[in-house]
Amino acid sequence: MNMIWRNSISCLRLGKVPHRCQSGYHPVAPLGSRILSDPAKVFEHNMWDHMQWSKEEEEAARKKVEENSAVQVLLEEQVKYENEASKYWDTFYKIHKNKFFKDRNWLLREFPEILPLDQKTKEKTGESSWDHMKTNAANCFSRMYCPPMTEGENHCKKSSDSSDGQSNTRPDFSNLHFEGHRKGPLKTELFPGSNAIFRILEVGCGAGNSVFPILNTLKNFPESFLYCCDFASGAVELVKSHSSYRAGQCSAFVHDVCDEGSPYPFPDGILDVVLLVFVLSAIHPDRMQGVINRLSKLLRPGGMLLFRDYGRYDKTQLRFKKGHCLSENFYVRGDGTRAYFFTKEEIHSMFCKAGLDEKQNLVDRRLQVNRKKQVKMHRVWVQGKFQKPLH
């Protein structure tokens, strides 16, 4: 019967996707839809949503990036930052533990696809979400029919390799080899979460700032399972030692997503959701496409890859000093960790090349305000939702 539910849940999820993933739909802002209509009131709140930049502001940001990119890090230093990336992040978590980042309680509002069934359905009907799902799953299976997928407005189109036409002058790290590859796929049939009918993977889980808001909600969905991984062993230990960690519904493990020779502790093609939030930006640009290609293989047909990361000209990019630039829009912080800043065109190109259909791809612009110092700072993030085709 579990196998029936697994196959049938795909039907249910695909039926909801067009409603929950509209390409042109702007998500509910995590901090509320606070729109600045009167510039004189800009210092009345800490954050304003959905800000539009003037041409002057965008030109000033572009010039600032030109200035801080004029001096690049030496090649031998770049190789060190690449080869020792996990060590820098491990040191970061040893110093900050779980105190640096806040829990992402906004996550489920931005990405309701994380859950197998909308919590509102349970509240409205008063019935168990899983009873509701089982009933519909049985009906779907008995009919042997899955409702067709409604196409979004912005499906993947052919894109050029470079979204801005600029030449690629950075050193090529795409062929770097890792030591200690584990050869061959995992062949065992039983694996953590093998009995679940809805499975989620968070890539780059850190200290668990996404894991635990999700895991706390999954208490209402006992037959779902959350995987989470990070290549910093210290981060994974923080997750596993947390009081809210439940091994029966979550598996945290050390994994380097750039190492294609390292298998996941579960087979390909079984995940309903892959969560990639503020992780891809820490990976060398030459390796990003390979990472997305591999994650795409983990999704079942109809599964969703949910993405959020730094956007071009975010205040973080503008604050870098000369000598911290590794390559175009790619920087190293003082602690050795790195950050890339994306355009939506780059995101479109990479995820579509991985064979995924674009359901959402937008730039989220906010204005952050320091009321005490009377300082305004532009925040820019890129957010996308990408679905694996049925066939």
* Residue 7: CA count within 13 A, CB half-sphere: 12
Pick out the chain residues at pLDDT < 70.
Answer: 1-32, 36-38, 42-48, 97-102, 117-189
9: three-class secondary structure by DSSP? helix
- Residue 346 structure tokens: 């780059």
- Model pLDDT, residue 331: 97
67 located within any domain: yes
- Model pLDDT, residue 93: 76
- Model pLDDT, residue 100: 59
Q: How many domains does the chain have?
A: 1
- Model pLDDT, residue 187: 45
Whether 382 contacts 365, CB under 8 Å? no
379: three-class secondary structure by DSSP? strand
* CATH classification of the domain holding 87: 3.40.50.150
- Cβ partners under 8 Å of residue 232, min gap 6: 86, 89, 90, 92, 93, 206, 254
Whether 332 contacts 300, CB under 8 Å? no
- Model pLDDT, residue 386: 98
207 located within any domain: yes
Whether 197 contacts 5, CB under 8 Å? yes
188 located within any domain: no
- Residue 288 structure tokens: 């990003």
Alpha carbons 201 and 227: distance in angstroms, whole number = 5
183: three-class secondary structure by DSSP? coil
Alpha carbons 228 and 210: distance in angstroms, whole number = 10
74 located within any domain: yes
Q: What is the DSSP string of 98-141?
A: TSSSPP-TTHHHH-GGGSSS-HHHHHHH-S-HHHHHHHHHHHHH
Angstrom distances, CA of residue 231 to CA of 202, 206, 276: 12, 9, 14
- Model pLDDT, residue 178: 38
The CA angle 282-115-229, to the nearest 5 degrees, is: 35
Amino acid at 339: A
Domain boundaries, position 210: 2-36+46-133+196-387
Q: What is the DSSP string of 134-173?
A: HHHHHHHHHHT--PPPPP-SS------S-SS-----S---
154 located within any domain: no
97 located within any domain: yes
Q: What is the DSSP string of 15-46?
A: HHHHHH--TTPPPPPTT-------GGGGGGSS
178 located within any domain: no
- Model pLDDT, residue 366: 85
Find the DSSP H helices in 36-74.
Answer: 55-68
139 located within any domain: no
* Residue 289: CA count within 13 A, CB half-sphere: 14
- Model pLDDT, residue 339: 96
Alpha carbons 173 and 224: distance in angstroms, whole number = 37
- Model pLDDT, residue 66: 96
Nearest to 283 by CA among 251, 259, 312, 253: 259
